[in-house]
Amino acid sequence: MKKRIAVLGSTGSIGCQTLEVIDRFPDQFEVTGLAAGANLDKLARQVAKYRPRVVSIGRSEDIPAFRAMIPGEVALTAGVDGMVEISVAEETDLVVTSVTGTLGLIPTVEAIKAGKDIALANKETLVAAGELVMALVREKGVRILPVDSEHSAIFQCLDGRKREQISKLILTASGGPFVNKSLEELATVTVQDALRHPNWSMGRKITVDSATLMNKGLEVIEAKWLFGVELDNIEVVTHPQSIIHSMVEFVDGSVIAQMGIPDMRIPIQYALTYPERQVNDFPKLDLLAVRELSFRSPRTGDFPSLSLAFAAGRTGGTMPAVMNAANELAVAMFLEGRIGFTDIPVLVEKVMANHTCKPSPNMQQILQSDSWAREEAKRYAGSSILKKV
């Protein structure tokens, strides 16, 4: 029987690569639902090709125009409610959550409640609501299959091994485009510079997060929830070649690493075919061409976002949701040219400092903290704490 898959965020980088993987195994997968935001031309082409039963777009007012662009029998819906409708649909087995931002939180939670397995590519789900989501995952007995290369790596290293045998998770970071830039140079980098990632081809938000190291910070918090490991037992090492995607150190001192070329289609395929592995035609790792694998400490002094994430993760409660929301807004403002690159962590830290944290929050408290953090970040955007005002 075919695995029936819904893709949230189908026109984004991970969404498109997910469909590319699905294309390679037409007898194994079927697309049952697609959700996207504003890229309606691309979505229309996907709808014509995959013929899902239901499709969701960003705004309900665009439904009539979009209706004219696609075949007649497809059901159309919109917004977060639309994504939820797709996530819980009877005909779906697995939901790929490749939508960026807090927007992905509710559809993911509803999919879990409906007993669907999740191929998790939305970082905010576990960062903002890790405690709540993992409790729900256990209650419903669903699988969370990580798509992010680091978590996929750890997931593969842990395969079949007991949690109590883990002594440490080692997440690798490429260091992003600014790994060799001085603090002085960082103050004047442009949006174009930040979007030029040396190894990975990804969406704009995550590429900027890679440049600030916030991406690694978000991944550390995700790893804590996903694998049940305390933050003190999670280490980040800079590994510029992006060949080792992460490692697990076990109590006996053995370290298992997962390697491969930096190509997101590999972890995506593993999430879709798990627990099987399937032959594909992707380029393979050539260690003699790579020649060297190197490691160094992340420059946490010059890239404060990583430490902010560790701090938010240790505080717990609503703090990671606040950090994430403030960062999302700060990155959006940087992309609009309204603040400088080094202003991003300054803004995030300010918002975190003003937050009164609630322990073990429910979903409503998480969403309230998220909205509060966005308003708070906007308040600071024009203030004198930032260099570029």
Residues that bind Mg ion (CB under 5 A): 148-150
Helices 214-227 and 124-140: angle between axes, nearest 10 degrees: 10
Residue number with the shortest CB distance to Mg ion? 148
Closest CB 181 distance from Mg ion, rounded Å? 21
Burial of 71 (0-12, 13-18, 19+ CB in 10 A): exposed
Of 148 and 343, CB closest to Mg ion: 148
Please identify, using beta-carbon distances, which residue of 88 and 128 lies nearer to Mg ion.
Answer: 128
Helix or strand or coil: residue 28? coil
**Minimum separation from the CB atom of position 210 to Mg ion (A):** 8
Q: What is the DSSP letter of 337?
A: T
- Write out the DSSP string of 297-323: ---TTT-THHHHHHHHHHH-TTHHHHH
- Write out the two tokens for 299: 């420059």
Nearest to 5 by CA among 153, 147, 148: 147
Residue placing its CB nearer to Mg ion in the complex, 150 or 370: 150
Q: Which is nearer to Mg ion, 56 or 210 (CB)?
A: 210
In the complex with Mg ion, the residue whose CB is nearer, 57 or 236, is: 236
d(CA 303, CA 316) in angstroms, rounded, equals 21
From CA 94, how far away is CA 271, in angstroms rounded?
A: 10
- Residue 264: CB minimum distance to Mg ion, A: 9
Given the complex with Mg ion, which of 149 and 238 has the nearer CB atom? 149
Q: How near is the Cβ of 63 to Mg ion at its closest, in Å?
A: 34
Residue 32 Cβ vs Mg ion, minimum distance, rounded to whole Å: 27
Residue 206 C-beta: closest distance to Mg ion, Å: 8
